[in-house]
Amino acid sequence: MTLRVLVLDYSSDRSETDYFRKWLPQGVECTSVFVSEGCDVPSPVPFTHIMHTGSSLSICRDAPFIPEAASLVRDCVELGIPQFGVCYGHQLLCRVLLGPGAVRRNPAGLEAGWLEITQTGEPPEIPEAGRKFRVLQSHFDEVVDLPEGSTIVMTGGLTRIQGFINRAMGLFGIQFHPEFDRDGGNALFLESRELLESNGIDVDAAVASGPSIDAGTIFFSHFLRYFSRRMMESRP
């Protein structure tokens, strides 16, 4: 089966698409839409997988594109099309399916840096990542409630729900950013030095650290592999 991926890019600078495309295996057909620019969101029907990117926007504010994005999220759940949400995209899935009360501004403040995540449960949901690993965090908002039937699969730091899976709805949401490797992540931290330092983040310490795993390969592949298998097994 040919994998046809739709990337909904919510970034204001159109940067997330290239980061996402980098981790898609050869042979995957990818279409991207820059949602924050007011482009029409296509029907999900031709696609096998949907990916929702991160954004510098706050999920707690009513962006003009949310109604159209919300319609697509609900259509995918109804049609059984798997969805992968990263940071803002993760928060969007929960806000759409549960309402604004599912997300909030994190009272602990900005969470940023190469920070440790712990997988929950036995055995870990994503064995390739290991029990504990460091990945890029950069967010003010967090998910506090999940759709019925969801399982928290990762936690850590200032945010309790770092990752969840909902098999019945075909959802995989993660708060951190697997699309950034060390070079890309450190460039982001240096570009955002003023913002990070004004929120108590030691940028030089963050840059001196780095990821402990190949997060892009692991988490993008897990989504495509696991939910592709799920789709095939569910067919009559």
Rg (CA), the chain: 17
Residue 6 binned pLDDT confidence (cut-offs 50, 70, 90): very high
| CA–CA dist 152, 154 (Å, integer) | 6
What CATH number is attached to the domain comprising 51? 3.40.50.880
Domain that includes residue 69, residue range: 4-234
User: Domains in the chain: how many in total?
Assistant: 1
Instruction: Establish whether 94 is a catalytic residue.
Output: no
In tens, the pLDDT along 146-175 reads: 999 999 999 998 999 999 999 999 999 999
Pairing of strands 132-139, 141-143: unpaired
Task: Look at residue 236 in the predicted model and tell me its pLDDT.
Answer: 46
pTM > 0.85: yes
Task: Look at residue 62 in the predicted model and tell me its pLDDT.
Answer: 93
What is the arithmetic mean of pLDDT over 124-148? 97
Helical H segments across the chain, by residue range: 16-22, 66-79, 88-98, 182-191, 193-198, 203-208, 215-234
pLDDT tier for residue 231 given thresholds of 50, 70 and 90? low
Q: Taking 50 as the threshold, does the pLDDT of residue 86 lie above it?
A: yes
Average of per-residue pLDDT across 116-133: 94
Is the model's pLDDT at 58 over the cut of 60?
Answer: yes
82: which 2 tokens? 């798997």
Mean pLDDT of the chain: 94
* Rounded-to-integer distance, Cα 41 and Cα 34, Å: 9
> Average of pLDDT values for 32-48?
86
What pLDDT score was predicted for residue 14? Answer: 87
pLDDT for the residue 235: 47
> Does the active-site annotation cover 90?
no
Active-site position among 16, 49, 76, 87: 87
Write phi, then psi, for 58 (nearest 5 degrees): -95, 130
Active-site residue 60, yes or no?
no
Catalytic residue among 49, 76, 179, 222: 179
How far apart CA 171 and CA 157 sit, in angstroms, is: 23
Q: Which two tokens stand for residue 168?
A: 């019945």
- Among the listed residues 52, 90, 139, 177, the single catalytic one is 177
What average pLDDT does this structure show over 176-191? Answer: 97
